[in-house]
Structure 1
Amino acid sequence: MVRLPKLTTAEYTIRDRAIRAFNKPRTLREALEATRPHLLEVVPADAVALCLMPDTRSPVFEWLVPGHRLVILEQYAELIQHDPFRGPIFKRPHWVVRDSQLMSRKEFVGSLIHQRSLELGPRLDHIMAVLLPTRSGRVAALALYRHRPRAFSARNADILGSLTEHLADAVSRYCDLEELEIRARTLEELYRRPNAALLVVEPPHHEVMRTPNAAVLLERWFNPSDLHSSGIPLPLQEQLDALMRMTPDERLGKDSWVRVHEERYRKVQFMELSAPEGPSKWALKLEEIPRSIPLPEEMKRKLRPKEIPVAMGMLRNWNDHQIAGELKRSHHTVKTHVKNIFARLGVDNRADLLYQAAHLNIPV
């Protein structure tokens, strides 16, 4: 359970709107745009930006900036070594850091970040940032800015801190969906059959629509005795009922149903849909995904013997810790192998490895 600071009724309402906006099923960029006005009101601040990175050591990044441009972030590659926030937030994920905690006002005004913002506009007079780790291993850094000399307070940091788990969970979900969509597309090519479906429900028990493949998956996953009177499987109906009774804070980490059956994952993602009026509907995204893709011979020939089982682990969708545990190797050794595998195969990341492997496995 997230520990909340003391909020007024108005602040709690705005915070709740921010959480709900960020969790609507849309792209990450659209979710950030929808969340922006609520986030800037509850903190408050003048601008917000989200930086996506493969990991904390990588110099690769992508800034998502809703609202007005922050020109300085378009030149961030030149300033990254002068960013005083990177070190502190990387050391303590979910810890909200304010510029006033890192340096004196005189030091901040004289910093390259501040001086460059004066040149490019808009001026960044105060900054507050936090690191949001994701389940996929990637990280996101959220930064809020003020264009006037009014420092962020400890209470501002506490309010943002109460949102970080929600934001990290949502960013994880968007990253997962992006990779799962790549995985689903490539595996569909490989195995030549659909593996995803959508079921839309209007609570408490009314089914609004289902895509054609939903009936196939539900019949394969559940016995007739598992069905609720509405036709929705009882395990899914019970989880949906529970989610509807929860607050956004209580829903964290509980919005998916996952089972492993033989060599396939069966996953249902519960997503609340916004409604202009009346109760919200819920979308249940059903996916059935093979747990592994064979390592193509063409890839195997390019790898060293010790790298092959690591590559096979990645194609089973295991993270570095899972691979290390299975192969009885250190986490550091596995990370080194992963980096070398990407270089030898000429792939950018795990999703790209999955994509390339699937294509190489398709019979000519």
Structure 2
Amino acid sequence: MNLNTHELMLRDRVISALNSSLSFPQVLEAARAPLLELAPSDSVALCLMRTTPVLDFKWLVPGHPIPLLEHYASVSDQDFVRAPIFARPNEVLLDEEMLPRREYEHSLLYQRSRELGLGLEHVMAVLLPIRPDFLGALALYRTRRRSFSSRCAAVLSSLNPHLVNAVRNCSDVQAMSTGAHLLDELHSGSGTAYLIVEPSSREVKRSRHATVLLERWFTPTDRHPSGLPLPLKERLDALIGMDADSRLEKNVWVSLQQESYRTVRFIELPADEGPRRWALLMNEIPMSIPLPVDMRCKLTDREADVAKYQLRNWSNEQIASELGISLLTVNKHTGRICNKLGVDSRADLIYQAARLNKPV
């Protein structure tokens, strides 16, 4: 969509805020003001949901509290937003697309919000698949009788990939950290490791197992004079030179070997000033990656078939031939798989499947 100069500035501020921290509350607080101005709203909230073994949720509300969400557990079964956004993930929906206005005003959530002194007259929401067992739902609210427009929905939609990336980074880092500081607490399992690099090639820190993986993965001729492997330095240099939108599908590097995938995920670390350091999360994954149960349950039978072959690194042409379907159909299934599983690309599918089978 065409944004004017002010809207582009606000969008850039939101994206910058989403990458300003690896803490959910800090990210939301930093993004709140420009987001509420970009898609004019009175408040914003993010719901983080685990789907297994049972649906569990946690609301994060930057700025002023939203009383209704503080009492959400008592009315969650009557939430008219949940079913529509679960049915159409990654699609921003307006309240008028969820149910008619008359039903909206008679809903328990609306009535309860008025009783609590903050009538939520309009809502705009989107479900963000982060991983098959982990979802986010972002909601913007208005307390005045002024409907959200389709333009507001389009503006928010343009931020979806950045929202997913921010939530995924925060979640992954928290999962790998058992203390207050990421760099001291990342675990060092037998197949995983990390490097911390200061652009463009100065290594700041590495985990104990990083040396083992680097020596196995790269020969001396693959090394830059700084010691950083050239393929990783080239990818890092490229990411640094990209805008935020272009980075999203390039932040996982994958090398296919005879018996394994070698993956490196690039995460830009927060910094108050000076150059932003990057964490390079390294993982060696067996070639035969089973489709995790949590992924399988999100897909149709045919989508699951396509995903299984993608995890074997078959080309789309090979998959089409094996399943007796057209290449166009494989491409359509691939788009639906990415949408349902919240992955950006085949590389990310491999990374997330490996993470579910054996957490990175």
TM-score, length of structure 1 as denominator length: 0.70
- The 1-side partners of 2:53 and 2:105 are apart by 27
Aligned to 1:100: 96
Q: What amino acid is the match of 1:30?
A: Q
Aligned to 1:209: 204
Q: State the shift of 1:71 in Å.
A: 2.0
List alignment gaps of at least 5 residues for structure 2: 305-353
Alpha-carbon distance change, 281 to 353 in structure 1, aligned in 2, over 3 angstroms? closer
Aligned to 1:227: 223
- The 2-side partners of 1:354 and 1:228 are apart by 31
Alpha-carbon distance change, 194 to 354 in structure 1, aligned in 2, over 3 angstroms? closer
Aligned pairs for 1:1-364 within 5 A: 5-55=1-51, 58-181=54-177, 195-202=192-199, 205-207=200-202, 209-211=204-206, 213=208, 214-259=210-255, 266-276=262-272, 280-288=275-283, 318-320=291-293
Q: What amino acid is the match of 1:283?
A: W
Q: State the shift of 1:212 in Å.
A: 6.0
Larger radius of gyration: 1
**Does the CA-based 8 Å contact 2:32-2:62 persist in structure 1?**
yes
- The 2-side partners of 1:353 and 1:275 are apart by 32
Q: Classify the secondary structure of the residue corresponding to 2:56.
A: coil
Q: Classify the secondary structure of the residue corresponding to 2:139.
A: strand
Alpha-carbon distance change, 211 to 137 in structure 1, aligned in 2, over 3 angstroms? same
- The 1-side partners of 2:14 and 2:262 are apart by 30
- The 1-side partners of 2:356 and 2:91 are apart by 32
Q: State the shift of 1:180 in Å.
A: 4.7
1:89-145 residue CA offsets vs partner (Å, 9 max, x unmatched): 111111111113334444433322121112223331211101111234422111111
**Does the CA-based 8 Å contact 1:25-1:273 persist in structure 2?**
yes
**Does the CA-based 8 Å contact 1:272-1:282 persist in structure 2?**
yes
Q: Classify the secondary structure of the residue corresponding to 1:40.
A: helix
Alpha-carbon distance change, 212 to 163 in structure 1, aligned in 2, over 3 angstroms? closer
- The 2-side partners of 1:166 and 1:228 are apart by 31
1:38-86 residue CA offsets vs partner (Å, 9 max, x unmatched): 2112112111111122239954211122222112112212212222211
Q: Classify the secondary structure of the residue corresponding to 1:61.
A: strand
- The 1-side partners of 2:70 and 2:155 are apart by 28
Report sequence identity in percent.
Answer: 43
Equivalenced residue count is 301
**Does the CA-based 8 Å contact 1:268-1:284 persist in structure 2?**
no
- The 2-side partners of 1:137 and 1:32 are apart by 22
Q: Classify the secondary structure of the residue corresponding to 1:6.
A: coil
Instruction: Tell me how large the CA RMSD over aligned residues is.
Output: 3.7
**Does the CA-based 8 Å contact 2:264-2:282 persist in structure 1?**
yes
Q: What amino acid is the match of 2:198?
A: V
Q: State the shift of 1:10 in Å.
A: 1.5
Q: What amino acid is the match of 2:239?
A: L
Aligned to 1:345: none
TM-score, length of structure 2 as denominator length: 0.70
Farther off after superposition, 35-44 or 23-32: 23-32
Q: What amino acid is the match of 1:166?
A: H
Alpha-carbon distance change, 125 to 321 in structure 1, aligned in 2, over 3 angstroms? closer
Q: Classify the secondary structure of the residue corresponding to 1:281.
A: coil
Aligned to 1:300: none
Q: Classify the secondary structure of the residue corresponding to 2:26.
A: helix
